[in-house]
Every structure is written in C-alpha cells, then in structure tokens.
Structure 1
Amino acid sequence: MSRLVIVVEKASDWGSYYPSDNVVTAQEYLKEPIGSDDERTQVINLCRSYKYLGTGYYVSLLAEARGHKVIPSVRTINDLRRRSLYGLDIDDLNQKLAKFLPDGGRDTTDFGVLVYFGETSSESLEDIARQVFETFPCPILRIEFERERVWQIAAIKPTGLHTLSDAQEDAFAQALDKFSKKLWRKPRARRKFRFDLAMLADPGDPMPPSNKRALKSFVEAGAELGIEVDTLTKNDYTKLAEYDGLFIRETTALDNHTYRFANKAEKEDMVVIDDPSSILKCTNKIYLHDLLRSRKLATPRTEILYRDDPKKIAELPDLLGFPIVLKIPDGSFSRGIVKAEDAAQLKAAVEDLFQHTALVLAQEFMFTEFDWRIGILNREPLYACKYFMSRGHWQIYNHGAKGTAKSGGFETLPVRSAPGDVLKLALKATAPIGDGLYGVDLKQAGDRLVVIEVNDNPSIDAGVEDAYLGEDLYRRIMGEFLRRMERKRLGQRG
C-alpha cells in the first residue's frame, strides 16, 4: 500500500489546515522506526528551512536512506544552496522570460512570485513556474526577478509554510491537494503487480516509435510478468517518482522533454530505457560518427561541414563524388536529410541546412535496395529486419509524398537468418553506447558493410518488428525491465 507523509517542523505550522493522519512533525518522522515491508512511502518535506545539517535537511536525507521518495531531495536542496550551479540550470529559462515580461511591462526593477508545486497565481508566468519546479522540485519556491537591460531570474529560494499569508495558504492548500492526487493516487487494485513502469508516449505524433497496437502489447506483456505499465505524456513529469522504471516510446532529442524525463528517472534511481547517456550518444549524428570512427567501425565516407568554411564545401565533390547526402545532426525518420546531385543542388542544400545548425554531416551516397535494422537489447540481438526504400525514392521514408511520409516495405527475419557479419558489426556499434535497447541501421553493398546509425529508441511497431517473434518480442523487453527492477530492489535491500 502507498503511504503519503507530510512533514512539518512544528505542529503549529499545520494549524491553518484540517488535521490529518498524514501530517507528522519532523521529530516524529526522524524517530520513526524503519519499516521492513514493501510499503511505498512518499514524503513531502515542509520544514521551515533546508539549511545544511538542519532539521529539514535531515528529513530529506533520512527519507532517502530509508528508500522513501521525498520532495525536495537532498540533491535539490544542495542545488538550490549553490547559486553557481543553479545559475547554469536556469540559463534557458532567462531567455524565455523575455516574452512574459517585455521591456516596459513593469515599472519596477525587481519583483518575486511564489510557486507551489509548480503552480503560481501569476498566469503569465505559469510556464516559467512549471519549468523551475521541474528543475528544482520543492514544495514552495520564491522566484525573484530583476531587470537591468532585460528581465532575468535573480534567485530561486525555498520558502517555509509558516511564512505564508491567509491568501497564500489557500493557494498552497489547493496546489498541495492537486499535486498529491496527481502524484500519489489512492492505492489501486493493482497490488498483484510487483512493479510499476511508466511508458512515455505522444498520442499526437504522426510517426511514433511504436504504434497503438504495439503500446497495448507492451502493457499486456508487462501484466503477464507482474509489471503494471502506465502510459504517460510530457505533461506527467511530476508523476515519475511513483514508478520503478521508465520506458521511452517517443522520438528522443536532447532539447526536449524526453531527455528531461530520462535524466529525472536516472536521478530517481529508476530503471530507464532510453537512458540519458544513450540519448546523448545516439541522437546527434556528428557525435555518433566520431564515436564509431574512434572504434574503427566501418561507416560511409563522411566529412563534417562548418558554416564558416566554404573551402571545405567546395572540395566536397572531389572528396565524396556526386551524389552527396547531407544530414542535420539531430534528424530522425529520414527527416533533415538531402541528396545533392550536382554543385548547384549542393550549394542550395547547404545554405538551407545551415539555417538550422552550425555543423552538417556530408556522406557519400550508397544506394541499396534495403537497409538492415538489427534490434539489440542488453548487448544481444533481439530482432532483424530489412527496410526497403520507398517506391521511386532513395530513402526508406519519403517525406515529400503528397504531404505525408510514405515508407517502403519490410521483411522481418529470425535473428539466426541474418548474416553473421551484419550481426557482429551491429553488436560492435552498440558496445560503446550502453546496454539498453537499440536499433542499428546498416548498408550492405557487395562485400562492403557499413553502419549508418544507431537509434536509441528503435521502431517497434505491431505488424513490422514483431512479425517473426510476435508477442514474445514484447515479453522479452518487459522481461529485461523486470530483471533490472528486481536487481535494483535487491540492491536497495542489501
């Protein structure tokens, strides 16, 4: 059964609210005997101060030692205490602040707002408040703004419940009620499940890594193994602490919420696929190219183009020959890739791509009827597919096909039927990345075999990648989550 504990420094701090069995004083919590069962305990630490080695600090510290999920965590407390560190974290928030507080919008040069569990009464600052809370999960925060030439965040400070006015207490109570219901729901009729797994997906994505039938199969496979799989969206960031693991089934990128979710899950000591390191290594093609080259793995002949180096661009035809394939570093599903047939097309394509990125990948063109895709899970081959080029096109996906992306056919094979050298190279390509779930794309032309890229969240669609293994594909992936979550739980007990 899940248990919610609200810790206050003094009983009087809760005096304005209805009494609750969930509320205890810091002294009561610190003296509480350590439980020996599997009961989940979620702690909201509302102590007056989180000063280092103070009462509030020890509440969070011992909560973590007891295996309780606590807000704020010791990491958050330390990050808020060290201005130099959180100044780096909020860099991007300062840029966004300009549109909420334009020059001349206020006469004052500084002001502050209170944020309760990511919510604020200032409607124009709701997005900023949410992002600050996601970065520094803490019950009550005061964000202070200042303006010199432009508005910026001057400080982020935790605030005590005892300092709130009557109106602020009402706002806090509403936010607490909403947050506790969202994060720590009443015990569900799911105690037959040993673990909870969050599966991040985007129902509005026209080209998701897994279609609806596949997502349903993951849920069913998890249930067979004693794992309850809940589908989350990008708006469910604060729910992560409720789960034992995170499975990302969205197209990942370093600059969007998928990376934040993966980072948060890793900090919470959850099992996570795709892990942040894999996302970092796979989503940027230039990073991945250097990684593969450092391991002396075969790739297409490649040149890195810099925006301010026209000489290198002029040399490309001699270095690679036409046609030349140009790629933006973070494209996916064949997007952000252009083929130049001559010098004029090359010039136009490069100018267009440099509008979006400072570096561009240029590669020799290797035509093949299909690309190999080898699925790898925990350093072992999982599935093998041939993805054929879209009809009349040189890529698997044709994004110019009457406004919608058209893809070529496929053939799914038993892993044992894939050529040995293809499997061997795929395994070598994932070795420096990690032990997660990957999809390795390779081209085979005559005796030549090269790695095109490694995907950290490979496509797993019902009717395609599962065409040979069927439901066993989903059971194997869920089985790996089960193995890792069991190992982590045993480690925590040990």
Structure 2
Amino acid sequence: MTRLVIVVEKASDWSAYYPSVDVVSAMDYLREPVGADEERTHVINLCRSYKYLGTGYYVSLLAEARGHRVLPSVRTVNDLRRRSLYGLDIDDLNQKLTHFLPAGGRDTTDFGILVYFGETAYPALQDLARQVFEMFPCPLLRIEFERERVWQVASIRPVGLHMLDDAQEDAFAESLDRFSKKLWRKPRARKRYRYDLAMLVDPNEAMPPSNRKALKSFVEAGKELGIEVDPIGKNDYQRLAEYDGLFIRETTASDNHTYRFAHRAEKEGMVVIDDPASILRCTNKIFLNDLMVSRKLAVPRTEILYRDDAKGMREVAGKLGFPLVLKIPDGSFSRGVVKVEDAAGLEKAAGELFQHSALLLVQEFVYTEFDWRIGVLNREPLYACKYYMSRGHWQIYNHGAKGTAKSGGFETIPVRDAPAEVVKLALKATHAIGDGLYGVDLKQVGDRPVVIEVNDNPSIDAGVEDVYLGEDLYRRVMQEFLRRMEHKRLGIRR
C-alpha cells in the first residue's frame, strides 16, 4: 500500500483544512528515524520555500535519501532556479490569453496563473499548465506571463500554502484530493516482482502498435521473468518515476506525450524503449534518408522539395521520372504518402502536403508485391514479415478505403529464411539509429534491397508478427528489458 506524507513548514499553513494523520511538520519529518520502510512512500513537500539549504530543500533532499518519492524533487527545485529553461515564447499564447485578460484588456503587459498539481482555473491554459507541471513537478506553481510583441513565460516559481486566499485554498484542496487518489489507486505487490515496467498504451488509438492480445502477452511474459508490466496512459506522467523501465506501445511522435514520457524516463535513469533519440531519428523521414545516404546504405532515389520552390518542383520530375511518391516527414502507417503520375498531380499533391510541412520527401516509385519488415532488437534480428499491398492499391495500408484503413495480407517467416542481403541491410540501417527495438521496411527488386524506412516502436500484433515465434517473441522483448534493468542496478554499461 502507498503511504502519503504531506509536509508543511508550520502547523498554521494547514489550518484551513481538516486535520489529517498524513500531515506532518517539516521538523518532525526531518527528525523521523531512518529505517527500513516496506511501504512505498510519497512525500508532498508544501514548505513555504525551497531555498538552497533551507528547510524545504532539506525535506526534499532527505526524502530522496530515504528512498521516498518526493514532490518537488531536488532536481526540480534546482531547475526552477534556472530561468533559461523556461524563458521561451509560447506558441499561440497571445490568442489564448485574449479571452480572459484581466482589467486592461489588450493593453495588459503582464498576467499570472496559479497551477495546482498541473491544474489551473483557466481552461484555455490547462494544456500549458499540465506541460509546465510535467517539466517542473511541484505542488504549487505560479506562472507569470509578460507581453512585448508576443506573450512569453516571464517566470515560474513555487508558491507556499500561506500565500493562498480562500478560493485558492479550495482549488488547491480539490486538486490535492485528485492527485493523491492517483497515488493510491493501485496497490502494488512489490515482493512478487523483481522489477516494475510501465507500458504506455492508448486504448482508444485506431491503429496501435500492438493489439490487446499482444499487450496481454507482454504482461504474461513479464510475469514469467519477475517483471510486473503495468499498462499506463498519458495521464500517468507523474507516476513514471515509480518504475524501473518504460515500454512505449502507442504510436510515437516527437511533438506529443510519447516523447515527453521517453525523455522523462531517460532523465530518471530508467530503461526505456523507445528511447528519445530513436524517436527523433525514426519519426522524420528526411533525417532518416540523409542518415542512410551518409552511411552509404541503399535507398530509393530521393529528392527534397521545399515550399515555394517552383524551380525545384519542375526539376524533380526530370531527375526521378514519373510516377513519384511524395511523403510528409512524420507520417506513419502509410499516412501522408501520395503517389503522383504527372506534373499536374505533383503540383496538386505537393500543395496539399505543404500545408503540413515546409519540406517534402520525393522518391522514385519502386513497385513490389510486398515490403519486407525485419524486426530488430538490440542489434539482432527478431522477426521477419512480408507485408503485401492492400488489394487494388499500391501501399500496405489503403486510407482511401471506406470505413477504417484497409491493409494487405502478410506472411511471417523465420529470420533464417529471409534473404540474407535483406537482413544484413536491415541490421546496418538500425546500427545507425541505436540499440532499441526497430522495424526496418525494405523493398527488394531482383537481388537489390533498399531501405524504405526504419520505424521505432514497430508493430507487434498477436496473429501477425508472432506467427512464427509465438509467445517466445514477447519473452525475448521482456528478457532484453530484464537484462538492461539488471545492468542498471549493477551499474554495468550495455
């Protein structure tokens, strides 16, 4: 069971609330005997100040020394002193603030909000409040904005309970109640498992990397190895540090919460697949193409189109010939990929895709009945699949079909039965990315394979990629997590 400890600097700071056995004074907490603590303990440090070597600072410092999860951590306290971390323009902030500026209207040049555990009283700024809390996990924060030409974050600083008025005290109490329930909602059987692994999933995702049966198989494989695999969602960001590792099983992007989770996990010293570097490298096709070319790995002939470059648009057809394939850099599952047959089609498709990206990838069209997918884990081949094109379509996924996206058939075979040159090229491609879990898409014309892309967070679906290996596929992934977590514990480099 999780134990919650709320630390206040003075008893009067809690006078507006009901007495609670969870509330202790800072001095009582600091004097608490240090011993073996079988319970998982969360400390919410509500001291008036976190000044270096002050009382609040020592509460967080000794909480970490005792193995307690504390909010804010010493790292957060230190980061809040570094204005360079948050002195940045906030996109679209001016437009959002216009709806509820205080007296002074458009002439207002400064504005502030309180953030209670990532929540704020201003709905239009809720997403910003959550992101700031994720960056600086601290119970009570005040975000100050200033405007010259555009709105900026002027400061982010902790606030003490003693600074709140009645309405703010009520808002804080409600947020604390919601936050503490998250800490208590899942008692964890610590003694049964050697390690805890968070598996980030989105039950509502239309095309997730793993279907429900596969996710269940990952959980079961973990149990066999002494790993508790706990499915979590995007709202569980603050629970992340409870775990020894993070396994991302929803579609990644460098501009959404999956990257933030990966980055936070890496900062916490956790084992993480996909790691943030792999996400950045794999989710942008232009970066990938340059990386493959620089390593002298075979790829389809490729050009880059730039927005408002009419000359480049005219020249690309002469260099590559029709038909051509246009791609936005960050598309997935065949989305944002268009085949064009002539100059008019090129101009029309480019105009539409340029609404999403300033640069486009243009490649020669290479026809094959199927694409190879080689799964790679820690620089070793894991599985081999043939993904056939959707019926009557030139891609594996046909997003133009009525209803949900239609996909072609597949054939999963032993890695040893896949062409040696395909597997060899796939391994070379992933060596340029890292040592995580990847799915390399390749086409083969005659004896010549070419890399189409390297996917982080590759599809592992029950009934598809596991057809040959069965449950052993899930065990191999969990064994790699186990190996890495044991190395982390022993201080051994991979």
Normalising by structure 1, what TM-score? 0.91
The whole-number CA distance in structure 2 between the counterparts of 1:225 and 1:52 is 43
Give the deviation of 1:65 after TM superposition: 4.6
2:415 corresponds in structure 1 to 415
Q: List per-residue Cα deviations over 1:373-415 (Å, max 9, x = no partner).
A: 1111111111111111111211111111224311111110112
Please list, as runs of the form range in 1=range in 2, the aligned pairs for 1:295-374 lying within 5 A after superposition: 295-374=295-374
- Cα gap change, 1:434 to 1:335, in 2 (>3 Å): same
The whole-number CA distance in structure 2 between the counterparts of 1:371 and 1:274 is 23
- Cα gap change, 1:107 to 1:491, in 2 (>3 Å): same
2:434 corresponds in structure 1 to 434
- Cα gap change, 1:233 to 1:289, in 2 (>3 Å): same
Please list, as runs of the form range in 1=range in 2, the aligned pairs for 1:51-130 lying within 5 A after superposition: 51-88=51-88, 91-92=89-90, 95-96=92-93, 98-102=95-99, 106-107=103-104, 109=108, 110-130=110-130
SS state at 2:86 partner: helix
> What amino acid is the match of 1:305?
L
SS state at 1:368 partner: coil
1:391 corresponds in structure 2 to 391
2:217 corresponds in structure 1 to 217
2:158 corresponds in structure 1 to 158
> What amino acid is the match of 1:423?
V
SS state at 1:280 partner: helix
The whole-number CA distance in structure 1 between the counterparts of 2:341 and 2:213 is 40
The whole-number CA distance in structure 1 between the counterparts of 2:22 and 2:490 is 28
The whole-number CA distance in structure 1 between the counterparts of 2:39 and 2:218 is 26
Whether the aligned pair in 2 keeps the contact of 1:200 and 1:246 (CA below 8 Å) is: yes
Q: List per-residue Cα deviations over 1:396-437 (Å, max 9, x = no partner).
A: 111112243111111101122122222221111111211111
The whole-number CA distance in structure 1 between the counterparts of 2:129 and 2:100 is 20
- Choose 50-59 or 412-421, whichever is displaced more: 50-59
2:288 corresponds in structure 1 to 288
The whole-number CA distance in structure 1 between the counterparts of 2:244 and 2:228 is 10
Deviating runs (4+, > 6 A) in structure 1?
Answer: none
> What amino acid is the match of 1:53?
L
Give the deviation of 1:21 after TM superposition: 4.5
Q: Which runs of 5+ in 1 are unaligned?
A: none
- Choose 255-264 or 47-56, whichever is displaced more: 47-56
- Cα gap change, 1:34 to 1:279, in 2 (>3 Å): farther
Whether the aligned pair in 2 keeps the contact of 1:285 and 1:453 (CA below 8 Å) is: yes
Whether the aligned pair in 2 keeps the contact of 1:201 and 1:232 (CA below 8 Å) is: yes
The whole-number CA distance in structure 2 between the counterparts of 1:398 and 1:120 is 42
- Cα gap change, 1:208 to 1:408, in 2 (>3 Å): same
Please list, as runs of the form range in 1=range in 2, the aligned pairs for 1:438-453 lying within 5 A after superposition: 438-453=438-453
The whole-number CA distance in structure 1 between the counterparts of 2:123 and 2:336 is 36
Give the deviation of 1:457 after TM superposition: 0.7
Percent identity over paired residues: 77
> What amino acid is the match of 1:98?
Q
- Cα gap change, 1:138 to 1:432, in 2 (>3 Å): same
> What amino acid is the match of 1:52?
Y
Whether the aligned pair in 1 keeps the contact of 2:96 and 2:124 (CA below 8 Å) is: no
> What amino acid is the match of 2:77?
I
Give the deviation of 1:27 after TM superposition: 4.1
Whether the aligned pair in 2 keeps the contact of 1:115 and 1:143 (CA below 8 Å) is: yes
Q: List per-residue Cα deviations over 1:46-73 (Å, max 9, x = no partner).
A: 2221223333233334444554332222
Give the deviation of 1:74 after TM superposition: 2.8
The whole-number CA distance in structure 1 between the counterparts of 2:375 and 2:30 is 48
> What amino acid is the match of 1:421?
E
> What amino acid is the match of 1:478?
M
> What amino acid is the match of 1:260?
R
SS state at 1:87 partner: coil
Q: List per-residue Cα deviations over 1:102-140 (Å, max 9, x = no partner).
A: 387743624433221112334444333222212221100
SS state at 2:85 partner: helix
Q: Which runs of 5+ in 2 are unaligned?
A: none
Whether the aligned pair in 2 keeps the contact of 1:385 and 1:465 (CA below 8 Å) is: yes
> What amino acid is the match of 2:416?
R
Give the deviation of 1:40 after TM superposition: 3.4
The whole-number CA distance in structure 2 between the counterparts of 1:451 and 1:140 is 49
Q: List per-residue Cα deviations over 1:284-334 (Å, max 9, x = no partner).
A: 001111122222211111111111322222111221121111110000011
2:274 corresponds in structure 1 to 274
Whether the aligned pair in 2 keeps the contact of 1:326 and 1:337 (CA below 8 Å) is: yes
1:247 corresponds in structure 2 to 247
- Cα gap change, 1:384 to 1:50, in 2 (>3 Å): same
The whole-number CA distance in structure 2 between the counterparts of 1:285 and 1:219 is 32
The whole-number CA distance in structure 2 between the counterparts of 1:226 and 1:291 is 38
Q: List per-residue Cα deviations over 1:440-468 (Å, max 9, x = no partner).
A: 11111112111111100100111000101
Whether the aligned pair in 2 keeps the contact of 1:141 and 1:158 (CA below 8 Å) is: yes
Normalising by structure 2, what TM-score? 0.91
- Choose 239-248 or 29-38, whichever is displaced more: 29-38
Q: List per-residue Cα deviations over 1:243-285 (Å, max 9, x = no partner).
A: 2222111111111111111112222222211111110000000
> What amino acid is the match of 1:73?
S
Whether the aligned pair in 2 keeps the contact of 1:466 and 1:473 (CA below 8 Å) is: yes
Q: List per-residue Cα deviations over 1:221-250 (Å, max 9, x = no partner).
A: 222222222222222222323322221111
> What amino acid is the match of 2:451?
V
Give the deviation of 1:156 after TM superposition: 1.8
- Cα gap change, 1:380 to 1:68, in 2 (>3 Å): farther
- Cα gap change, 1:403 to 1:105, in 2 (>3 Å): farther
Whether the aligned pair in 2 keeps the contact of 1:183 and 1:242 (CA below 8 Å) is: no
The whole-number CA distance in structure 1 between the counterparts of 2:382 and 2:136 is 38
- Cα gap change, 1:182 to 1:266, in 2 (>3 Å): same
Aligned residues: 489
The whole-number CA distance in structure 2 between the counterparts of 1:118 and 1:144 is 15
Give the deviation of 1:350 after TM superposition: 1.6
The whole-number CA distance in structure 1 between the counterparts of 2:68 and 2:429 is 38
The whole-number CA distance in structure 1 between the counterparts of 2:72 and 2:433 is 32
Give the deviation of 1:342 after TM superposition: 1.5
2:133 corresponds in structure 1 to 133
> What amino acid is the match of 1:71?
L
The whole-number CA distance in structure 2 between the counterparts of 1:270 and 1:58 is 25
Whether the aligned pair in 2 keeps the contact of 1:98 and 1:151 (CA below 8 Å) is: no
